[in-house]
Amino acid sequence: MNLTQIFLDISINDLKSAMLLYEKRFYRNSYFLFQQSAEKANKALGMFLGHSSFEELKKVSHNPMRIYRKIIKKQADDINEFNLRIKQHNNIVEHEFTKRMEIVNYNASLDAGLKGIDDLGKMDLINIPVAELRYLSDTLGELLIFSNKKNKLPRGFEKDIEPEFEKVIYEFADWIGKFGIEGKKKKSEFEELIQKNEFSKELIPLLPKLFDIYFDLIFIFYSFSICAVITLQHCSLTRYPDNGKNPLKIYTNQLPLIKMQSCFMKILGEALIKFRKLAKSQN
């Protein structure tokens, strides 16, 4: 079994334990294991995407945001490259289906994410207001709903982009191919069909599958990163007194993070399921 799968299995196990402890109202212990689950999930993602080696992960210690910053920077670079390519094709950029993908907006959010990571050290991540936590939870919930939808191409899509179809599909397949083994498989399928000049008949049905991977990755990235943020300052605090403060008095059902913890654990669980499906394709 590879290291990515091992980290993923540990993350899932920690999350299940966190849920059980939460139900029994052992909130301090539960939140510690929730933090551990988010940490292992991000480390698994870093290895899966080839952005972090096991030796590099040893240096990260309990701060998964160092991994995620590297992942976001690489994804931002990849999307910038793809945007530069696709902007050369106005009929595709202006198409309804392309706009729905919101690649440009996603790139802007990644850039904002990088700045946010750099500012984390100045923030109070222990007393996050319920309203802010609920907003994050609702946003991830909406991404999950969108990720679970089966994408269908709008009528006339092939005809609208036919003049530049082959070139753009090559570019899109090349970009998707950067996302793990599953993405590489889809890229190979596309290139094989294009070489056979069968894309008009067989390639179009494969497009929604590529978009499904794209939307799953967005949900996974956001879920893992947000769970890393809201647990970032809690690895030590859940276990040891801080400036004379008793962790048993901090992690109660009055703490906003504890009130919303169940929602975030469910979201992390959904993201882990989707990630495990991608990771298993490596075997």
Beta bridge partners of 242: 245
183 token code pair: 């993405």
164 token code pair: 């530049």
Whether 58 is covered by a domain: the verdict is no
| CA torsion angle 212 217 218 219 (round to 10) | 90
Whether 28 is covered by a domain: the verdict is no
pTM, 2 dp: 0.70
Whether 258 is covered by a domain: the verdict is yes
Whether 249 is covered by a domain: the verdict is yes
| CA torsion angle 244 249 251 257 (round to 10) | -90
The Cα–Cα gap between 76 and 83 comes to: 10
Whether 53 is covered by a domain: the verdict is no
What is the count of structural domains for the chain?
Answer: 1
The vertex-18 CA angle with 35 and 223, nearest 5°, equals: 50
pLDDT of 11 reads: 96
Which helix H or strand E contains 139, and what residues bound it? helix 130-148
Q: CB within 8 A of 85, min separation 6: which ones?
A: 168, 171
Q: For each of the chain's 283 residues, which pLDDT tens digit applies? A: 588 889 899 999 999 999 999 999 999 999 999 999 999 998 888 888 776 666 666 565 556 566 656 666 666 666 666 666 656 655 555 555 455 555 556 566 666 666 665 565 667 778 889 999 999 999 999 989 988 876 665 565 555 555 555 566 666 666 666 655 555 666 676 666 556 555 455 556 666 777 778 788 889 988 998 898 899 888 888 888 878 889 999 999 999 999 999 999 999 999 999 999 888 765 5
Q: How far is CA 135 from CA 130, 139, 140, 142, 226, in A?
A: 8, 6, 9, 11, 12
3-class SS of residue 242: strand
* Burial letters 132-168, b for 16+ CB under 10 A, else e: ebeebbeebeebbeebeeebeeeeebeebbeeebeeb
Whether 54 is covered by a domain: the verdict is no
Mapping DSSP onto H, E and C, the string for 161-209 reads HHHHHHHHHHHHHHHHCCCHHHHHHHHHHHHHHHHCCCHHHHHHHHHHH
Q: Domain of 174? A: 70-280
pLDDT of 155 reads: 61
Whether 205 is covered by a domain: the verdict is yes
Phi and psi torsions of 184, nearest 5°: -65, -35
pLDDT of 175 reads: 61
Whether 59 is covered by a domain: the verdict is no
pLDDT of 35 reads: 94
The answer to whether 250 touches 126, Cβ cutoff 8 Å, is yes
pLDDT of 156 reads: 58
The answer to whether 242 touches 163, Cβ cutoff 8 Å, is no
